[in-house]
Amino acid sequence: MNKTSEYDFTIVVPIYNEIDNMGAIEQRLGDFLKHSSRKACVLLVNDGSSDGSLEAIRDLCRRNPDFYYISLAKNSGLSAAIKAGIDSTFSPLVGYIDADLQTDPEDFNLLLPYADEYALSMGIRAKRKDTLAKKLQSKIANKFRRSMTGDDAIDTGCPLKIIQTPYAKRIPFFTGMHRFLPALISLQNGTVRQVPVRHYPRTAGVSKFSLRNRFWGPLGDCFAFRWMRSRYINYSLGESSFDNQQPKYIAEK
């Protein structure tokens, strides 16, 4: 039984070989749930981990009533894990944070005040705690992406976001999609709010990103986005004989 409809806000956490971070995920996200300004739950998405992460996820969810999980049959990539999490969410709001916890779950409370007004509320990593090479790669890739997409997102790579669920479920998904969330929301005529959030160095586990998938991959994905944008269909219904045209995504009070 999917219980995410009983919450206002579901936090999707894609996990691929993060066994060393599972303790921090349980503690820090568990602490946030106690202080969240909206009734929230956590949805862990195992992306075909091979290091014991799935077993740790099962144990974690047994211990914590507001934690749930789904597991992909094989490793499918970050975009696929995010999409699977969104597809499995039925709360009015769906959020996303990376399992490395280089952003702080508590900063969701900085985004939540804007979540009802804006289709996407997203963080901007202030004082990034990454290497100079990583920051330079991201800066160049972001500049090129903005020139290709026309959006004004300052830090689209910040893994701290909240999306109104109906918008999230209409996002056209493809490999690399997670890099284009602001532009993909804008295709639906949705509005975007950007808020500075904290950033920390990775303290456990190994980064899954390299020059290839942080720099060259996004450059190629920009051309895929341009192709998709020229063919994107955006429509709204005028009237219908159906009583309920869209899911309501209303959390139980």
Secondary structure (DSSP) of 212-245: IIIIIHHHHHHHHHHHHHTT------S--S-S--
159: pLDDT strictly greater than 60: yes
In the chain, the percentage of residues whose pLDDT exceeds 90 is 57
Would you say residue 133 has pLDDT above 80?
A: no
247 found inside a domain:
no
Residue, of 241 and 88, whose pLDDT is higher: 88
Task: Tell me the pLDDT band of 156, cut-offs 50, 70 and 90.
Answer: confident
The sign of the dihedral angle between the CA atoms of 124, 226, 16, 60 is: positive
- Compute the mean pLDDT over every residue in the chain, rounded to the nearest whole number: 85
For residue 13, pLDDT beyond 70: yes
Number of domains in the chain: 1
- 145 with 156: CB under 8 angstroms? yes
Helices (H), 70-131: 78-87, 108-111
Give the amino acid at 137: Q
Quick check: 227 pLDDT over 80?
A: no
Q: Which domain holds residue 54?
A: 4-129+155-206
Q: Looking at the domain assignment, is residue 140 inside a domain?
A: no
Residue 240 lies inside a defined structural domain of this protein: no
| 37 lies in some domain | yes
Q: Is residue 147 part of a domain?
A: no
* Structure tokens that stand for 175 in this block: 């490999």
Give the range with max mean pLDDT: 37-41, 140-144, 155-159. Answer: 37-41
Note whether residue 103 is domain-resident.
yes
In a domain, 106, yes or no: yes
Identify which has the larger pLDDT, 201 or 32: 32
Would residue 142 count as lying in a domain?
no
Write down the pLDDT at residue 215: 56
CATH code for the domain of 116: 3.90.550.10
pLDDT for the residue numbered 234 = 73
Please tell me what DSSP assigns to residue 30.
H
